[in-house]
Amino acid sequence: MIKHTILLTMMAAGMYGQVFEVGVHGGVSRLSGRNIGTISTGAPGGGIQTTLEDGWRMGFRMTLNNWSFFAHEFGYAYNRTQLRFATTPPEESGMAIHQGLYNFLVYATPEGTKVRPFATGGVHFSNFVPPGASVTQGGGSNKFGVNYGGGIKVRVTEMWGIRFDVREYLTGKPFDLPGASGKLRHMEVSAGFSFMM
């Protein structure tokens, strides 16, 4: 059954000029609006201000270029950041942010062009996993948001290409801590390579 589905997908891509891409990427995560609230110390009016720090990311994307200038993209990224506590001296502990996304791409050049600048927008979820917790055991705080940005894809050979992306993700602040307000703004700057068919 799976073989038949893959075969039909490949035949449809050939009939309609669709191109399938799958690739990996890596880069940096720059966070603003990073104050996520205060953790209670038990003392009246007391609390430790908590922030998320910049980090790095890696992930993969799958793109269906099913029109000359438009595409659908699905992806996952693992982000590594630091949870920072405003104690004296400040303390930090590593934590993960898992992201899943769907984006719509609009290209400036048609399918088959070697260089393809694009703009993109979409929706995503982020699972913030605090130190000591595990995403596989249901740990973490899930938040949904929107993202937008752009980039460029360059076909290097018939089957391989490189890409560069800059995107901003707007997400609710995790853990629902007292004093949290506004949105967490998460900027991705990344580069990667793709297999194209």
Annotated domain spans of the chain: 19-196
At the topology level of CATH, where does 19-196 sit?
Answer: Porin (2.40.160)
The first and second tokens of residue 18, run together, are 């669709």
pLDDT digits (tens, 9 = 90+) for 134-178: 777 777 899 999 999 999 999 999 999 999 999 999 999 999 999
- Residue with token string 């194209």: 196
Structure tokens belonging to residue 161: 């290409």
What is the rounded CA–CA span in Å between residue 194 and residue 197? 10
How confident is the model at residue 10, as a pLDDT? Answer: 46
What is the per-residue pLDDT for 5? 43
Whole-angstrom CA distances from 13 to 5, 105, 165, 195 are 12, 18, 25, 15
Q: What is the pLDDT along the chain (197 residues), one digit of tens a residue?
A: 544 444 444 444 444 445 899 999 999 999 999 999 999 877 666 789 999 999 999 999 999 998 999 999 999 999 999 999 999 899 999 999 999 999 999 999 999 899 999 999 999 999 999 888 877 777 789 999 999 999 999 999 999 999 999 999 999 999 999 989 999 999 999 999 999 98
